């Protein structure tokens, strides 16, 4: 890594705070919350988030690919695997690793909205400074980050480095 931005313990503390804020928001709902993790980047975030969330919940997975292969610039979000659960009439929280242009989140939220959920919100671990270009914002945000390409804690470059426990900026020479 060229630089570590967030260490494991700092991430843990922030994820717990987010889990509490989410649990507070959904405390009064009827029925379980349906969490929709956007694969693959959100897996570690979701694993930690749900274990810190004292709430009845279900998971419905969706796999969207925005950065195919060795790219650091977003293409069109492509649905690789459709939603694995029924979200009609459910309270839905979409969870993604990072919000940049918002096209990924917007496309997932669009697909979910077609199923007419009772409510729809989103949580992201990281948010980049996309400014006016952003098409959608998230309801719950872990950290705001500068416009670096970051990896670790689930985030990848060419599907690598997801298991790095901290969040860091990859060394320039490793990006081709």
Residue with smaller CB distance to ligand IMP, 62 or 99? 99
For 82, other C-beta atoms within 10 Å of its C-beta total: 9
| Binding segment (CB under 6 A) for ligand IMP, from list 7-15, 28-36, 51-59, 144-152 | 144-152
- Per CB under 6 A, does 95 bind ligand IMP? no
How far is the C-alpha of 69 from the C-alpha of 159, rounded, in Å?
A: 7
How many alpha carbons fall within 13 Å on the CB side of residue 34? 20
- For every residue of 114-126, DSSP letters joined together read TT--SEEEEEEEE
Please, what sign has the CA dihedral across residues 153, 65, 104, 101? positive
Is 39 among the residues that bind ligand IMP (CB under 6 A)? no
Our CB check for ligand IMP shows the closer of 29 and 130 to be 130
Q: Which of ligand IMP, Mg ion, none does residue 149 bind (CB under 5 to 8 Å by kind)? A: ligand IMP
Marked catalytic residue, from 48, 96, 97, 100: 100
- Residue 119 has phi, psi (to 5 degrees) of -155, 160
In the complex, least distance from residue 90 CB atom to ligand IMP, rounded to whole angstroms: 22
Shortest reach from residue 122's CB to ligand IMP, in Å:
11
Question: Residue 105's closest CA among 41, 148, 27?
Answer: 41
Q: Binding string to Mg ion for residues 20 to 49, with x set by CB under 5 A, is what?
A: ---------------------x--------
User: Active-site residue 100, yes or no?
Assistant: yes
Q: Interacting stretch for ligand IMP, rule CB under 6 A, among 14-22, 26-34, 91-99, 109-117?
A: 91-99
Angstrom distances, CA of residue 155 to CA of 45, 89, 98: 10, 31, 8
153 makes contact with ligand IMP (CB under 6 A): no
Give the span between the Cα atoms of 164 and 159, in whole angstroms. Answer: 12
Q: Which residues bind Mg ion (CB under 5 A)?
A: 41
Q: Which residues bind ligand IMP (CB under 6 A)?
A: 38, 41, 66-67, 74, 77, 96-105, 149-151, 155-156
């Amino acid at each position: 890594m060229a630089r570590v931005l967030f260490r494991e313990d700092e991430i843990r503390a922030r994820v717990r705070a987010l889990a509490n804020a989410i649990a507070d928001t959904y405390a009064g709902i009827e029925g379980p919350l349906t969490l929709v993790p956007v694969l693959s980047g959100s897996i570690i975030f979701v694993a930690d988030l749900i274990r810190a969330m004292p709430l009845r919940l279900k998971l419905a997975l969706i796999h969207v690919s925005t950065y195919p292969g060795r790219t650091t610039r977003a293409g069109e979000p492509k649905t690789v695997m459709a939603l694995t659960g029924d979200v009609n009439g459910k309270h839905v929280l979409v969870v993604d690793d990072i919000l940049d242009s918002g096209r990924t989140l917007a496309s997932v939220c669009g697909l979910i909205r077609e199923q007419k959920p009772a409510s729809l919100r989103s949580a992201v671990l990281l948010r980049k400074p996309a400014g006016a270009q952003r098409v959608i914002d998230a309801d719950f945000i872990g950290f705001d980050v500068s416009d670096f390409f970051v990896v670790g804690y689930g985030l990848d470059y060419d599907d690598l480095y997801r298991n790095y426990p901290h969040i860091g900026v990859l060394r320039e020479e490793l990006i081709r």
